[in-house]
């Protein structure tokens, strides 16, 4: 009875959280629709005269442009195809009689396009910004099969465009204390997606960024809506219509006009939506499953688009009970089953790592194999001049691996290389590389790394900002540096080194994410979103490479005493966070022990407990917790 009561309580809690997460949007939509019916304020009166829509030459972007023009807003159309833009502008002007502006911008060009956009947009009374522009590869592909330029386009277009436009336009919205930002993410953001790893990771970034930005801008009267559509019939999904004989997926494609009929109704009413009702049902169903099942489902969809993935939902019908006692018993049993199911999922997600560690230790007792034999002769570590990167270099050198150290400070690298050679008698190589320089760097890295037998790649290099900051407070260069260093380095080095690992059928990739990847983090919005990208990308890549004998480990450290947490160490000595800082050598002692034994770890035992605790609470609570932590880091102690 005690166990049944406990499981029922767990089941009741989980049901309440699930119902909150999935019924919040329809309830807010109903209440705000009634409010709109009473007050009847135009969007232009509520937010501002102009709406800016990126990727508006066709598809969902064109749909948003038509919808907002129909609502009486003047529209700025932004895309790279001038002919299409001019045609759409003419259609809108003739049909709705509103003003239109056309801005030709190819976001794949990176930072070069934003000076023109800033000059054009900042003088306008921008009320609504729709960050819709996005790209993907034409069909599902493994990471190493995607051309390098497409990977850059995914980061520049899917991530850079929305981040920089928010950075440019949010200050004016805050001053006017009105405005709405609509960020179009994707249903792919709710789970790492093998064979669409980079695209899904970029959308995980968008969701994390957008939800955190919503909390940052809420006190200033500026709203942020996150849209996570499923399959909509656009150029991006055209291969499903033209390339597949199986009608199963075609039946799930929603037409743009149908999608906009629903998505448009949610504008200004809810902060999180899937746009179309059927996509909302699919998302709600997916959230009933633990993450590893969602990864499996998305992987199956993209690996075998011809197969029917979605299982028919089981329908549980219950006869009407005559007595209240029997009804209560049935409810208790149902909650107990849900509680048992969710407890099993939670235990799987949180005990899987320690169980794999134990099994790995037992396996090592009977099969002791040096890392250099198991994976390869060389370990490549980025950000290796100090902190966690230097710790990994020392640990792997201690395991008799030769080390390639990559960072931007040559003096520090040479000092670390000398220490490793002297201490462990291994070969070392130094590569001076500033990952903020972007694409030109990787040709030099390929020349240096591809001739080597690289067994382990540790993608550790990362940037953050000194203290908590709102998105618009960040210099645009800092934003680009965060994107190119934290995300592009991981993506492009994996793209470079995965093919030889697959050929040799051995190797290990260690991608260092962060505990902040577990939830959107206001005041650390861009950094946390980049780490959500790394986590999603790593877990999807793991499934892509599993059959080739190549391992991928995702590491999610909490607060470790490095240059990145220097502010906490120097200015918050009396604070709770300072007491939770872990020394690098102590962290690496635990994190190093997990190498080759588990594919997902926080590295340190106390960080694992924090991660486990965060998984017990719904996302909005996690966002609130992280918002509280990082808002305290916005100014020095005592100020």
pLDDT of 310: 32
pLDDT of 321: 38
φ/ψ (deg, to 5) at 128: -130, 130
Taking the C-alpha atoms of residue 418 and residue 428, their distance in angstroms, rounded to an integer, is: 8
Beta bridge partners of 407: 432
Residues constituting the chain:
639
pLDDT of 407: 93
pLDDT of 189: 84
The torsion region of residue 60 among left (phi > 0), alpha (psi -120 to 50) and beta comes to alpha
In CATH terms, are 29-287 and 369-633 the same topology?
Answer: yes
pLDDT of 170: 94
Taking the C-alpha atoms of residue 300 and residue 307, their distance in angstroms, rounded to an integer, is: 8
Cβ atoms 61, 238 nearer than 8 A:
no
* Cα dist from 276 to 235, 308, 477, whole Å: 18, 22, 36
pLDDT of 616: 77
pLDDT of 411: 93
**Which active-site residues does the annotation give?**
199
φ/ψ (deg, to 5) at 508: -145, 130
Cβ atoms 575, 635 nearer than 8 A:
no
Residue numbers in the chain where pLDDT is lower than 70: 1-8, 10-11, 14, 18, 39, 237-252, 291, 294, 296, 298, 300-344, 346-348, 350, 565-580, 633-639
Taking the C-alpha atoms of residue 341 and residue 360, their distance in angstroms, rounded to an integer, is: 27
Q: What is the pLDDT of residues 447-471, one digit of tens each?
A: 999 999 999 999 999 998 877 788 8
φ/ψ (deg, to 5) at 19: -65, -40
* Cα dist from 387 to 66, 283, 288, 583, whole Å: 51, 39, 39, 9
Closest CA to 149 of 106, 112, 114, 108: 108
Domain spans in the chain, listed from the N-terminal domain onward: 1-28, 29-287, 369-633
User: Does domain 369-633 match CATH 3.40.50.720?
Assistant: yes
pTM: 0.79
| Dihedral (CA of 531, 434, 118, 627) sign | positive
Taking the C-alpha atoms of residue 427 and residue 418, their distance in angstroms, rounded to an integer, is: 10
Class in CATH terms, 29-287? alpha beta
> 161-176 and 114-121 helices cross at what angle (nearest 10)?
20
């Amino acid at each position: 009875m005690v166990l049944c009561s406990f499981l029922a309580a767990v089941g009741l809690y989980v049901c309440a959280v699930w119902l909150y997460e999935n019924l919040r949007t329809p309830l807010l939509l109903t209440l705000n629709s009634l409010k709109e019916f009473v007050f009847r304020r135009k969007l232009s009166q509520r937010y501002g005269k102009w709406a800016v829509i990126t990727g508006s030459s066709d598809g969902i972007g064109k749909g948003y442009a038509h919808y907002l023009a129909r609502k009486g807003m003047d529209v700025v159309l932004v895309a790279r195809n001038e002919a299409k833009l001019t045609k759409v502008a003419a259609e809108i002007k003739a049909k709705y009689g509103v003003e239109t502006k056309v801005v030709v911008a190819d976001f794949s060009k990176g930072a070069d396009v934003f000076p023109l956009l800033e000059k054009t947009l900042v003088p306008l009374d921008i009320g609504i910004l729709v960050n819709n522009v996005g790209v993907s590869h034409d069909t599902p592909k493994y990471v190493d099969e995607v051309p390098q330029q497409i990977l850059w386009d995914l980061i520049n277009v899917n991530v850079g465009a929305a981040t920089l436009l928010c950075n440019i336009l949010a200050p004016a919205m805050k001053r006017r204390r009105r405005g709405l930002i609509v960020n179009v993410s994707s249903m792919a953001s709710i789970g790492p997606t093998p064979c669409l790893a980079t695209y899904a990771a970029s959308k995980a970034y968008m969701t994390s960024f957008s939800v955190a930005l919503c909390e940052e801008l809420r006190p200033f009267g500026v709203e942020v809506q996150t849209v996570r559509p499923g399959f909509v019939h656009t150029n991006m999904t055209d291969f499903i219509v033209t390339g597949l004989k199986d009608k199963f997926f075609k039946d799930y494609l929603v037409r743009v006009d149908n999608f906009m009929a629903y998505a448009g109704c949610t504008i200004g009413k809810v902060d999180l939506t899937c746009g179309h009702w059927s996509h909302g049902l699919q998302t709600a169903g997916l959230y009933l499953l633990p993450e590893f099942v969602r990864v499996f489902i998305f992987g199956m969809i993209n690996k075998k688009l011809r197969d029917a993935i979605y299982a028919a939902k089981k329908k549980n019908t219950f006869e009407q009970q005559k007595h209240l006692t029997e009804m209560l018993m049935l409810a208790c049993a149902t909650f107990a089953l849900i509680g048992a199911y969710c407890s099993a999922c939670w235990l799987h997600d949180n005990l899987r790592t320690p169980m794999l560690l134990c099994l790995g230790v037992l396996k090592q007792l009977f099969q002791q194999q040096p890392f250099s034999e198991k994976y390869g002769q060389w370990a490549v570590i980025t950000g290796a001049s100090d902190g966690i990167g230097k710790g990994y270099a020392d640990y792997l050198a201690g395991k008799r691996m030769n080390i390639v150290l990559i960072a931007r400070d040559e003096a520090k690298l040479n000092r670390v290389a000398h220490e490793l050679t002297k201490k462990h008698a291994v070969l070392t190589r130094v590569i001076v590389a500033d990952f903020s320089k972007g694409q030109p760097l990787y040709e030099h890295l390929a020349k240096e790394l591809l001739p080597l037998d690289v067994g382990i790649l540790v993608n550790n290099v990362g940037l953050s900002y000194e203290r908590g900051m709102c998105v618009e407070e960040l210099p645009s260069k800092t934003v680009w540096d965060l994107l190119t260093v934290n995300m592009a380095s991981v993506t492009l080095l994996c793209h470079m080194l995965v093919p030889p690992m697959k050929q040799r059928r051995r190797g290990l990739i260690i991608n260092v994410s962060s505990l902040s990847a577990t939830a959107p983090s206001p005041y650390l919005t861009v950094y946390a979103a980049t780490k959500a990208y790394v986590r999603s990308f790593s877990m999807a890549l793991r499934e892509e490479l599993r059959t080739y004998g190549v391992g991928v480990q995702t590491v999610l450290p909490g607060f470790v005493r490095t240059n990145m947490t220097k502010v906490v160490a120097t200015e918050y000595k009396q604070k709770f966070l300072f007491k939770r800082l872990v020394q690098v050598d102590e962290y690496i002692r635990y994190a190093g022990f997990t190498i080759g034994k588990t594919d997902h770890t926080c590295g340190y035992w106390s960080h694992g407990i924090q991660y486990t605790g965060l998984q017990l609470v719904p996302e909005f609570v996690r966002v609130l917790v992280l918002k509280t932590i990082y808002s305290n880091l916005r100014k020095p102690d005592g100020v």
